[in-house]
Amino acid sequence: MVASKMTLRVQLLVLQALIVFLVTLATGIVAGAFQEQALREAYKDRMQAVAQSVAALPTVLDAFDDAEPSTTIQPIAEVIREASDLAYVVVADEDGIRYSHPNPERIGEKVSTDPSIPLSGEVYVGTQTGTLGTSWRVKVPIRDDDGTVIGTASVGILESELNEEFTANLVWLISAMLAAAVFGVFGSAWVTSIIRRRIYGLEPHQIAALVKNQETTLHGLSEGVISVDGAGRITLVNDAAARFLGRDAADLDGASAAEVLGDELTTVLREGEAAGRPVIVGLHVLVARSTGSDADGGEIGATLLLRDHTELHDVVRRVEAADAIIAFRQRFGVPKGLSAETLDRVVAALAARPDASATEIGDDLDISRVSARRYLEHLASAGRAIRTLDYSTKGRPSTRYRLHGAV
């Protein structure tokens, strides 16, 4: 509910800032872990080198045969400890009795931790708690000239000192993390502004409404709509256009316009046709219009509009056919009120005589003189019969008819 009240700008900024924070934090944790490991490895290498150097010093080896070995070993161990910046350098015999210690009062006492590993000839590396506290230490065996283990050399640094050094080294790491987070937030704000410009500053609900309205309007149109990008690929097609082309709309998305539309529609698309050009596609008679975007015969990037005039074309054809029939009938056919069957009978009766009057044809066909006269006059006006006047009768001359071409 809260997220819906936030603007898209704020949502994008918060989400990106959160991602930057989490990534920076994870990176810092990993870097800190690697730094601690590196610090321990560095101290381990230093402690091993110091311990092995002490164990191999001829002065230390010779001192093991003295009545008071600590008198010789203690000063040497302290000098090495201070020079190496370590917490302690302890040398003990095979019984675990110390010959050196940072606290001289501990000399002569038994070591506080188990010396069995170095006395067995192995090197020990690990954390143990001794008289000075918990420390990260290395223990190595001390061997005489014959290789026999005669004591141990233990070197270490307190965990507290190790942690202090690690904490001090974290300052620059935390500073770097904070700087990265700040730059990340500013970068997020910049990316957010770019995204907002790309979507014309619209909010998500506005974008959803536009998409929904576009889908409803586009697919509800009876007119076909096809949009093509600069590479000549179809980027948008509605249901009407897919129906005109006899294809599925999903199959047309991303297809090559030249392959799908054919030569005529591609020409309209490329050249543009504001008024509309009739094009026959399958069983459809379409009027195609296009904005056109020809660039010297190169890339296409336009919208093609297709309007189906198939039904109108059929109506026009029917009207034209009806007009032709009417015109033919008016010229050669049977006028209104006359029967083609009766006309044929009149023609047959007239053909049976050299000539005849309307009364004679009426008597032959058993129709009235007036009806026979209408059929005969129609034949005469159509040029199929010849009309003549007979002056041999008393009174007014009568009209006689004979078929055209009859002798």
Treating both helix axes as pointing N-terminal to C-terminal, what angle do 69-84 and 8-56 enclose, rounded to 10 degrees?
Answer: 150
The CA distance from 401 to 252, in Å, is 72
pLDDT in tens, 288-345: 878 765 544 445 567 888 877 766 656 666 666 555 555 555 555 667 778 888 888 8
Tokens of 107: 């000399």
What is the model's pLDDT at position 305?
81
What is the model's pLDDT at position 298?
47
What is the model's pLDDT at position 295?
46
More confident site: 261 or 401: 401
Query: What is the reported pTM?
Result: 0.45
Nearest to 288 by CA among 271, 302, 300, 276: 276
26-52 as b/e: b if 16+ CB within 10 A: eebeeebeebbeebbeebbebbeebbb
Mean pLDDT of 37-52: 86
* Backbone dihedral angles phi then psi of residue 2, each to the nearest 5 degrees: -65, -40
* Backbone dihedral angles phi then psi of residue 356, each to the nearest 5 degrees: -160, 155
Nearest to 46 by CA among 115, 164, 136, 131: 136
- Cβ contacts of residue 294 below 8 Å, gap of 6+? 270, 271, 272, 300
More confident site: 278 or 385: 385
Is-contact 271 293, C-beta < 8 A? no
Mean pLDDT of 187-212: 77
* pLDDT band at 91; cut points 50, 70, 90: very high
pLDDT in tens, 335-393: 777 888 888 888 888 888 888 888 888 888 888 888 888 888 888 888 888 888 877 76
Q: Which residues pair with 127 in a beta bridge?
A: 136
